[in-house]
Chain A
Amino acid sequence: MSIFIDPASLDRPNSYIGKSVARPNLPKLVEGRGQYVDDHVLPRMVHVAFVRSPHAHAAIKSIDATEAIKIPGVLRVFTGQDLAAICDPWVAVLVHLKGMKSAPQYPLPLTHATWHGEAVAAVIAETRALAEDGAAKVLVDYEPLPAATDMETALASATPVIHASLGDNLCFQRVNESGDVAAAFKAAHKVVEATFHTARHTGVTLEPRSILADYNKASKKLVVHHSTQAPHMMQSVFATQLRMPEGDVRVICGDVGGSYGIKVHVYPDEVATVAIAKLMGRPVKFIADRLESFGSDIHARDHRIHGKMAVDADGKITAIEIDDLTGIGPYSVYPRTSAVEVNQVVNLVGGPYDFPNYRAKTTVVFQNKTPTCQYRAVGHPIATTVTEGLVDLAAEALGMDPIAFRLKNLMRDNSYPRTSPAGMKFEGLSHVKSLGRLMEMIDYPKLRAEQEQMRLRGIYRGIGFASFIELTNPSPFMYGIGGARISAQDGCTVRIDPDGSVVAATGVTEQGQGTEGIIRQIVAEAVGVPLHAVRVVTGDTETTPYGGGTWACRGAGIGGEAALQAGRATRDAALKVASAMLQADAQSLDIIDGQIVDKSTRAVRMPLAELTRIVYYRGDTLPPDLPRELMQTRHFITKQYPFAFTNGIQASWLEVDTDTGLIKLLKHWVVEDCGRIINPLLVDEQVRGGVVQGIGGALYEHCAYSPEGQLLVGSMADYLVPMAAEMPDIDVGHVETPTREGDLGAKGAGEAGTAGAPAAIMNAINDALRPLKARVLAQPFTPERVLQALGKVPQSG
């Protein structure tokens, strides 16, 4: 029976869905009692440090470990050939991305180093410090080769081809087209166009990538403690690459110190660590240091996009055309591939708007830089930057206010279900209502008046907007359809124990976003017990239902729905026993606050703990044929829509110092519609954290390279991340349009902030600079670039 959650009914005890309650894992974290991978110490554990390529592109002529192995405490040195003997390479392509190609990637390369920072040899020692001593003594004879570093010339004949077997440096191309774009541009009242750049940046998880692999040669079992978002996927990967039965591999994921998409990929150094554990038959730990994180964590968002928009005399958008180019490093990253980011870009551009003609072309090329892949809000910040940048340019060309232009062009709230020109199916969105909510929050006329007054004093403030859509609750259409062993389904097992407490084991994982908190709320409500009576188990392939883990904002929508259904099934199972014990119709009973009650009067009939005592210890007193299945599992997968889209709008209010180019963020607002909100406190903090991550990409973060392919980022003093003093307060408002795919109605909320913030910042800067006829379109919007736009310092290369 489907019972859609009705907020009006949420007024009884144990009604936790929609409430701001604290997360169960915080007490341990605030006392430093979490357990991250590096906190695990196992008997006979050894440590690995990697020798990493100082060249962007080089042939590996030989590796001499003689001096390294002489250091007391250094145990072994492994090369690519050593590990290839027991570990197969992988090729990261998806069949639904037609024509995509990539080269086989080994845990350590066999013949060539293809980016600055690539691991080429592994040194094993009793401590990490000794392993690093050993790594410094390994002599690698490199023959440096010309590098392909500029994505604009990656396909030029003079550019070296990185993988000879592929023939060229082209990874993937796609054109997404609908309507008659050429005719629309021909007939346009106005056409605006611009070239946007989003900078190559990275996640900088405060806990670096961490893995501790333990292979037991006697039992032939591999246990991997891994800081990951997707334990079941990694179980499959480790088993496949190491030629082991999947059932012999267990992946355990305890506390994770931040992930944001960085920890959902297969990293060669991590697979190498696991392979070494198998070869040595003892636990091997790898904890990346910050320098090697910058060079080996995936990068993202290195895009150049030409964008064009046509509008008619009424101010309606008639066509959008983009040409997108990205450089992804020398390999597509396994198993999600490095072409999904561009796929999202061409699927999401123009997303909030009602317009008929669309053409998007994207080109993905290989280059000798750190591989790029999916990072929080995959493709969204790029698509939103282009779309909202063009929207503001068009409004300006028409002499329209940016809000009036958006109101004219946003999809109407009553126009769903519908399909966008890019082919995305929308179940139900609320762009117009969200914009209205934002207007209530910001006092737009007052900000404009303030802006005018300030300009008279030579102070340049700007307000920028960004409407956006976010793809959440993915179906197999994202990866499974392309052949990847990535589960879009997830499951939850709910069990009532003899003391009446409840255990919920879920396949979705916790990285700090609050998965365990919301699963606890949902299960407590569904079963009918107090919050504290529920404990949640995540992150262990041996003990949780098979599932995809955390990606594409699926934890609440997919994992939450499975938990709701499993909790309800477990309550129903308990009520079946209660009806026999109480000689009452099961339909007339309910469980509230851990008590079996009469549903209509709420009179207590029996404690749940009394029912469980009888079931577990005095089952002989129950009717022999009575089912007493107090543990139920349910799975959920979306079926009607490939994705549950969310939407929202952001606004940024900032001040540009036209003498220094520095940008001061004064205030930021977000209105977000993520469907049913399970915990408003957690949703707001997801949004705020996401916004700040987006601001980082917009203003500070850049994995800068020299023309030769040397990564110029060596520390967090080179690679700037947002710190508290520069960040504004962020107001968050909500509209709730639940999905009807399940009873819970929840969609994802984790990436909305990052999706929209860079575009809002860009539009605010350009709004501030408009009277000065200056404009910035290349992220990060550094003081230097602002001053260049103002003509105050010369353009650099």
Chain B
Amino acid sequence: MTTNTISLSVNGERVTRTVPGRQHLIDFLRLDLGLMGSHAGCEHGVCGACTVRVDGQIVRGCLVLAASLDGRTVETIEGISDTGEIRDLQDAFIARNAAQCGYCTPGMLMTAAALLQSNPVATRTEIREHISGNYCRCTGYQAIVDAIETTAKARAAKSST
């Protein structure tokens, strides 16, 4: 089996590993680095539970090969929690009960954070469309939409003062 040695930044730390050519990013994060916050839900790019960032863009961890990440920058839910980047969004999820079982939540937060950056004044319809690549079986989505909308409005109010 072919292997590749990759050297990359994961949550701000330099990481060098030799990985099998067929290994996906989600398995690399979970099995090799012990970063269990990102979850495998469908392993074919539909459910969004494995959503992480590569070079600032959100990707499906199950559709990216680890071997392709030499020299890249990866951020996971653990990393963006530690930096405090989405503290307000996480607090809104807690207050609104926008997570139930929590399995989709890290991926959902990654996706929501990307929307808040690219479209800070997103409407509810835009929020619903943007998170439609992230499957949640528990909430029915309304609480998630509410939490993202609340965060967007709070950030807008903060930046206008």
- Chain A residues proximal to chain B, CB less than 8 Å: 22-23, 25-36, 38-39, 41, 127, 129, 203-208, 255-260, 289-290, 511-514, 681-682, 685, 688-693, 715-717, 721-727, 729-730, 753
Contacts and interface: CB of A to CB of B under 8 A. Distances in A.
Interface string B137-152: 1111111110000000
Interface residues of B, number: 59
21 contacts: A22-B95, A26-B94, A29-B105, A30-B94, A32-B106, A33-B78, A38-B30, A207-B39, A208-B41, A257-B101, A257-B102, A290-B42, A290-B43, A512-B100, A689-B100, A689-B140, A693-B137, A723-B134, A724-B128, A724-B134, A725-B129
Contacts of B81: 30-32
Contacts of A726: 132
Nearest to A31: B81
B74 interface: no
Contacts of B31: 127
Contacts of B49: 206
A32 B143 contact: no
B47 interface: yes
Interface in B78-103: 78, 81, 90, 93-97, 99-103
B77 A31 contact: yes
Closest 9 CB pairs of A and B: A32-B37, A29-B102, A512-B101, A257-B103, A512-B100, A32-B77, A692-B140, A688-B140, A716-B46
Interface of B: 20, 22-23, 27, 30-31, 34-44, 46-47, 49, 76-78, 81, 90, 93-97, 99-106, 109, 124-125, 127-129, 131-145
Contact of A257 (B38, B39, B96): B39
A282 B133 CA distance: 39
Contacts of B137: 203-206, 258, 260, 689, 693, 721
A203 B97 CA distance: 21
Given A716-B44, A716-B46, A688 B142 contact: yes
A23 B30 CA distance: 27
Contact of B140 (A35, A38, A512, A727): A727
A206 B140 contact: no
A114 B92 CA distance: 48
B38 A206 contact: no
Nearest to B131: A724
Contacts of A722: 140-141
B138 A724 contact: no
* Interface core residue of B99, B106, B138 (most chain A CB under 10 Å): B138
B100 A685 contact: yes
Given A26-B93, A28-B102, A129-B27, 10 more contacts: A33-B78, A206-B136, A259-B101, A689-B138, A692-B139, A692-B140, A693-B140, A715-B42, A723-B132, A725-B132
Contacts of A289: 43
A393 to B, nearest CB: 29
Contact of A206 (B47, B127, B132, B144): B47
Given A290-B43, A727-B140, A514 B38 contact: no
Nearest to A34: B102
Nearest to A723: B132
A29 B99 CA distance: 8
Nearest to A289: B43
Given A29-B99, A33-B37, A206-B39, A727 B104 contact: no
Given A723-B135, A724-B145, A725-B128, A22 B46 contact: no
A290 B90 contact: no
A23 B42 CA distance: 27
B134 to A, nearest CB: 8
B149 to A, nearest CB: 11
Nearest to A721: B135
Nearest to A679: B97
Given A29-B102, A724-B144, A512 B138 contact: yes
A516 B140 CA distance: 21
A766 B31 CA distance: 51
Contacts of A685: 97, 100, 138-140, 143
